[in-house]
A and B are shown apart, each in its own frame.
Chain A
Amino acid sequence: MTHPARLILDDYRRLFRDGIWDNNVVMGQMLALCPLLAVTGTATNGLGMGLATTFVMVAAALLISMFRGIITPEVRIPVFILLIAALVTLVDLVMNAYLYEMHKALGLFIPLIVTNCAILGRAESFASRQPVHRAVMDGLAMGVGFTLILVVLGAVREIPGSGTLFADARLLLGDGFAWMELTLIPDYRGFLLMILPPGAFLALGFILAGKRVLDTRLAARAASMKVAEA
């Protein structure tokens, strides 16, 4: 008989697999595209946005799952929005106080986390129907998956766009992380298109296409393995 702890770990692993790859907020569900396209001019901005969203996702999942017994279905959407809005206000004020430069760079998109459909979507479809521990794990997995795609898209745009990687990382993470700020191409005058909005659409399109190609290959390989086993 399998140990119960083993079962829970397996369950968490599946949740993370979903959040990071199979059902990724962006690559699987195509949600939260507005902040994704708007703030990924640099990998650092992507990371900041991702961390803020992850915090809101985990906290919202925790609260909503805890209160899921007393929220009636008729008022659930306003209640979810109120909870999420309160959390976002918290993040907004904290970032304004301690990460002022980063807050300025992300600008309006921090308050707009409230309208991020990925958060409300997970609250509605997962957190409001699941026990607290699973809801929190799912929020974390989705948040990490979102952060990853934000950072990848930010890097894909930043490297050709301005020849740097994680520029201004110390504004987000403190002076200890100055080593992250890489200048990959010195004396580079920039491929402006990648920094502008069209670059975000182009890069996202190629990333989505790349995921599909990879998934098709993996499925084909899995199928041929099965045939070989049989």
Chain B
Amino acid sequence: MTTTTPVSGPHTHAPGGVTSQMGWVILALLPATAFGVYLFGWPALNLLLITVLAAIAFEVMSLRIAQRPVTPFLMDGSALLTGLLLALTLPPWAPWWIAVLGAGFAIVVGKHVFGGLGQNLFNPAMLARVALLVSFPLEMTTWVTPQPMFAEGSPGFIEGLAITFGLAAIPDAMTGATVLGETQTGFSRDLGLSETLPGVYDPMQQALGFIPASMGEGSALLLLAGGLLLMVRRIISWEIPVSMLGTLAALATIFMLIDPERFAGPGLHLISGGAMLAAFFIATDPVTSPSTMRGRLIFGVGCGLLIYVIRTWGGYPEGIAFAIILMNGLAPLIDHYLRPRTYGRTRGGKPLEPKAPAQTAPVTEKRP
């Protein structure tokens, strides 16, 4: 009879879990978010708060309906992150109901209908963005030129509320087109890039984010920094961002070399639109991307390819949300065909035969 109490096996326990992962992602997004809020002023802050609060409210409601414990699921931060990501992809001066509808669509239809966090097929924030873009093309493509907070001419707190709640119209003088939108209209008017781009595209301004854009896709550099932090912390793996941005850049280079007047170069493609935001923060969502390394590489290449095709030949100037949703739909298929070999079994699932002894000995022994 032993007197020692049994202890568990010597398994190490890594710190973390869903809450800590979500926390790191939110932390990595904060610089770009803060910059977006600064750049687009009070209306942007209102929109951000409304989206996040609405996402949390819808999360509580859905958990109640599903009769699950509210506090533990709410504290994992996933609803907060979904709301934040959605807000970052909205035009910063969009009206309040866009935010509420989008948050509701993301949380209820995008996540809880499928069974909650971990069960969803599509990235909830991207799903909501696509639904909003298809339904409300006008509101979703009204971009304002940067109106930094406290700068002269930018709306104050009260004016900001009026814009968010639809009491004041956005002055036409403050709106502008995005670079991607401008290149597409230019193309449809048979103008070459050398005529379209000057005046709307300045690589430095574009990379820093002083451009008409949605709240979070402005500053490519801050997003890149946040993404690298996540990679260093191993919250996200390198495969998706590298293969996605690499494919986008490679395609842009090839077509630019074919016809530089028609196709924009890799620099413009990488730092405009939501490429950085999507590559580091949205496509890397562990729930909706493949789980093997090769799978993630294919996923990233597919995203990059679709983004380039939609941007260049599609009807919309920006195709990131569509590309990611399409690839999300393919992720289970990728995982199915690229299933890694189980240890001790063949690819077909049969147990490995023990290796036959080396056939050095002659098969038939001759008697002396």
State whether B113 touches A192 (Cβ < 8 A): no
State whether B134 touches A202 (Cβ < 8 A): no
State whether A192 touches B134 (Cβ < 8 A): yes
When C-beta atoms are compared, the residue in chain A nearest to B137 turns out to be A192
When C-beta atoms are compared, the residue in chain B nearest to A213 turns out to be B65
Contact residues of B between 122 and 165, Cβ < 8 Å to A: 131, 134-138
When C-beta atoms are compared, the residue in chain B nearest to A196 turns out to be B134
Q: Compute how far the CA of A189 lies from the CA of B166 in the bound complex, rounded to whole angstroms.
A: 15
Provide the residues of chain B in CB contact with A222, threshold 8 Å: none
Tell whether B109 is near chain A: CB-to-CB under 8 Å.
Answer: yes
State whether A192 touches B135 (Cβ < 8 A): yes
**A183 CB, min distance to chain B CBs, angstroms:** 19
Provide the residues of chain B in CB contact with A205, threshold 8 Å: 113
What's the interface size class on B, roughly?
under 10
**B98 CB, min distance to chain A CBs, angstroms:** 11
Provide the residues of chain A in CB contact with B131, threshold 8 Å: 193, 198
Provide the residues of chain A in CB contact with B136, threshold 8 Å: 189, 191-192
Which one of B113, B134, B135, B138 has the greatest number of beta carbons of chain A within 10 Å? Answer: B135
**B120 CB, min distance to chain A CBs, angstroms:** 15
Provide the residues of chain B in CB contact with A202, threshold 8 Å: 109
The A contact surface, by secondary structure, is: helix
State whether B135 touches A193 (Cβ < 8 A): yes
Contact residues of A between 71 and 116, Cβ < 8 Å to B: none
When C-beta atoms are compared, the residue in chain B nearest to A195 turns out to be B135
Provide the residues of chain B in CB contact with A193, threshold 8 Å: 131, 134-135
Provide the residues of chain B in CB contact with A189, threshold 8 Å: 136, 138
When C-beta atoms are compared, the residue in chain A nearest to B109 turns out to be A202
**B128 CB, min distance to chain A CBs, angstroms:** 11
**A201 CB, min distance to chain B CBs, angstroms:** 10
**B232 CB, min distance to chain A CBs, angstroms:** 39
Contact residues of A between 183 and 218, Cβ < 8 Å to B: 189-194, 196, 198, 202, 205
State whether B109 touches A191 (Cβ < 8 A): no
**B137 CB, min distance to chain A CBs, angstroms:** 8
Q: Compute how far the CA of A198 lies from the CA of B134 in the bound complex, rounded to whole angstroms.
A: 11
Which one of B113, B131, B138 has the greatest number of beta carbons of chain A within 10 Å? Answer: B131
Q: Mark B79-111, 1 if CB is under 8 A from A, else 0.
A: 000000000000000000000000000000100
**B207 CB, min distance to chain A CBs, angstroms:** 34
**A187 CB, min distance to chain B CBs, angstroms:** 13
A–B complex contacts, Cβ < 8 Å, 17 sampled:
A189-B136, A189-B138, A190-B135, A191-B135, A191-B136, A192-B134, A192-B135, A192-B136, A192-B137, A193-B131, A193-B134, A193-B135, A194-B135, A196-B134, A198-B131, A202-B109, A205-B113
Mark B residues whose CB is within 8 Å of A: 109, 113, 131, 134-138
9 further A-B contacts with Cβ under 8 Å, apart from A189-B136, A192-B137, are: A189-B138, A191-B135, A192-B134, A192-B135, A193-B131, A193-B134, A193-B135, A196-B134, A205-B113
